[in-house]
């Protein structure tokens, strides 16, 4: 599938979503525009396109209707202000194509509406998929910043690749944290944070409008271990302590309680208290991530979630 086809598929899903909200949920065009974070004029065009394409009959057909129901349930259960459930694309393994569409749609809206001028970016395969699906857009004065240190011994797995790729794709200003994910000691962390370039990025984080982040698992295939950001024994230790999921270096158990570890104070990333003060949207999905996503949702840190249809269904069932 080419990029143009991918973006066309994203637009088609938006057309059907607008039709479902207008004709089935009974929302006005203004309410549809507010729900989809688009202008009223675009909401009108989306609804008109749905009628012209034959999507509107007695009801809006297709899987998107189920996705919207999942969104409403997840928002109600976890007090989310934003949820986007991407229709199933029959992918095997991790649904990177679906997650890429959803993440790209979110970023595209932020860039085109310029509702956020400072956007934090996490790490992981899902975010890279989103950036790869993102069309060329005018970013205006928007700034991106990486939310955690990530220099590793394996350059191919370096999470800074996401922020670099995003800068290339959008032409926006992008700031990275040129430090390791994990400092050797608390004293080393203090020294690193005092460096001008690092302190500047943390100051930007304090003023960010929204952040798009991934959610990590704590199993043997965890990205933190695959990228050599953590050692096996370090992750094993935090898992044995009850961790079920990870968000920007912070670990949580099944109930969403923070799980402390011997290296918690050495992680170079925003504090948990700082994250709770910001608008954090997670992009994550796949059967192997269900327990991890549930743990992060239960933590109350997230204000939004972008996931795939099958994962959403399992989250609701659990």
160 and 43 fall within a common domain: no
41 and 102 fall within a common domain: no
Out of 34-38, 75-79, 292-296, which region has the weakest mean confidence (pLDDT)? Answer: 34-38
54 and 93 fall within a common domain: no
57 and 117 fall within a common domain: no
Q: pLDDT tens for residues 220-265?
A: 777 776 777 777 788 888 899 999 999 998 999 999 999 988 888 8
Question: Which of 62, 81, 96 delimits the end of a domain?
Answer: 62
* Structure confidence at residue 8 as a pLDDT band (50, 70, 90): low
Q: pLDDT tens for residues 35-50?
A: 999 999 999 999 999 9
Domain count, the chain: 2
User: What pLDDT score does 174 carry?
Assistant: 92
Q: What is the separation, in whole angstroms, between the first and last Cα of the chain?
A: 33
Task: Tell whether the model's pLDDT for residue 63 goes beyond 90.
Answer: no
Which residues have C-beta within 8 Å of that of residue 44, sequence separation ≥ 6? 29
188 and 298 fall within a common domain: yes
Q: Which domain holds residue 58?
A: 1-62
User: What pLDDT score does 112 carry?
Assistant: 84
Mean pLDDT score, 280-287: 97
The burial class, CB within 10 Å (0-12 / 13-18 / 19+), for 2 is exposed
Which residues have C-beta within 8 Å of that of residue 196, sequence separation ≥ 6? none
Question: Which of 35, 62, 89 delimits the end of a domain?
Answer: 62
From CA 119, how far away is CA 6, in angstroms rounded? 24
Which residues have C-beta within 8 Å of that of residue 230, sequence separation ≥ 6? 181, 182, 222, 224, 263
Q: pLDDT tens for residues 116-174?
A: 899 999 988 999 999 988 887 777 789 999 998 875 545 444 555 788 888 888 888 99
* Structure confidence at residue 190 as a pLDDT band (50, 70, 90): very high
Query: How many residues are recorded in the chain?
Result: 318
31 and 47 fall within a common domain: yes
pTM score of the predicted model:
0.80
81 and 28 fall within a common domain: no
Question: Please, are residues 147 and 270 in contact by the beta-carbon 8 Å criterion?
Answer: yes
Q: To 10 degrees, what angle do helices 3-19 and 40-52 make? A: 90
Task: Tell whether the model's pLDDT for residue 56 goes beyond 90.
Answer: no
- Tokens 């959008």 -> residue: 170
CATH number, domain of 12, equals 1.10.10.10
4 and 139 fall within a common domain: no
* Structure confidence at residue 178 as a pLDDT band (50, 70, 90): confident
57 and 68 fall within a common domain: no
Q: Which run of H or of E encompasses 317?
A: helix 309-317
242 and 93 fall within a common domain: yes
Mean pLDDT score, 268-287: 95
14 and 149 fall within a common domain: no
Name the percent of the chain lying above pLDDT 70: 91
195 and 294 fall within a common domain: yes
User: What pLDDT score does 2 carry?
Assistant: 42
Query: How much is the mean pLDDT over the chain?
Result: 87
CATH number, domain of 91, equals 3.40.50.1360
Question: Which of 41, 62, 83 delimits the end of a domain?
Answer: 62
From CA 71, how far away is CA 304, in angstroms rounded? 10
* Structure confidence at residue 57 as a pLDDT band (50, 70, 90): low
């Amino acid at each position: 599938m080419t990029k143009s086809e991918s973006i066309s598929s994203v637009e088609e899903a938006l057309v059907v979503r607008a039709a479902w909200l207008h004709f089935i949920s009974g929302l006005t065009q203004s309410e549809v525009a507010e729900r989809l974070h688009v202008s009223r004029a675009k909401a009108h065009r989306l609804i008109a396109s749905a009628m012209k394409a034959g999507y509107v009959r007695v009801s809006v057909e297709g899987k998107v209707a189920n996705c919207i129901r999942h969104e409403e349930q997840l928002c109600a259960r976890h007090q989310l202000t934003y949820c986007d459930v991407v229709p199933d694309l029959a992918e095997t393994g991790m649904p990177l194509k679906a997650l890429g569409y959803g993440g790209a749609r979110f970023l595209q809206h932020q860039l085109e509406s310029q509702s956020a001028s400072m956007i934090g970016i996490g790490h992981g395969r899902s975010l890279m998929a989103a950036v790869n699906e993102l069309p060329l857009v005018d970013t205006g004065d928007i700034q991106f910043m990486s939310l955690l240190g990530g220099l590793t011994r394996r350059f191919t797995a370096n999470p800074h690749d996401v922020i670099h790729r995003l800068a290339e794709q959008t032409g926006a200003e992008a700031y990275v944290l040129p430090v390791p994910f994990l400092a050797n000691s608390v004293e080393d962390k203090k020294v690193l944070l005092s460096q001008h370039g690092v302190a500047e990025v943390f100051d930007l984080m304090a003023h960010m409008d929204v952040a798009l982040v991934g959610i990590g698992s704590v199993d043997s295939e965890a990205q933190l271990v695959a990228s050599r950001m953590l050692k096996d024994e370090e992750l094993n230790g935090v898992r044995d302590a009850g961790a079920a999921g990870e968000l920007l270096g912070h670990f949580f158990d099944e109930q969403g309680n923070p799980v402390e570890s011997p290296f918690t104070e050495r992680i170079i990333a925003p504090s948990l208290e700082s994250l709770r003060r910001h608008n954090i949207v997670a992009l994550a999905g796949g059967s192997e991530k269900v327990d991890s996503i549930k743990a992060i949702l239960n933590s109350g840190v997230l204000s939004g979630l972008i996931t795939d249809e099958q994962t959403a269904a399992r989250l609701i069932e659990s």
